[in-house]
Amino acid sequence: MKKLLAMTAVAALTLSANVFAQEGEAIYNKACQVCHSMGVAGAPKVHDAAAWEPRLAKGLDALVGSVKSGLNAMPPGGMCTDCTDDDYKKAIEFMSK
Ligand code: HEC
> Which CA distances in Å does 53 have to 8, 14, 44, 59, 68?
44, 34, 10, 10, 20
Q: Is 91 in the pocket of ligand 1 (CB under 6 A)?
A: yes
Which tens digit of pLDDT belongs to each residue from 48-80? 999 999 999 999 999 999 999 999 999 999 999
pLDDT at 22: 72
Is 88 a residue whose pLDDT tops 70? yes
Mean pLDDT of 33-52: 97
Question: Which residue minimizes the CA distance to atom 36 of ligand 1?
Answer: 32
How far does the centroid of ligand 1 lie from the alpha carbon of residue 2, in Å?
A: 50
Q: Is 58 in the pocket of ligand 1 (CB under 6 A)?
A: yes
Is 13 a residue whose pLDDT tops 80? no
**CA angle 73–77–79, rounded 5-degree value:** 75
Pocket test for ligand 1, best of 22, 25, 32 (most atoms within 8 A of CB): 32
> Which CA distances in Å does 49 have to 11, 14, 37, 74?
37, 32, 13, 19
Confidence of residue 16 (pLDDT cuts 50, 70, 90): very low
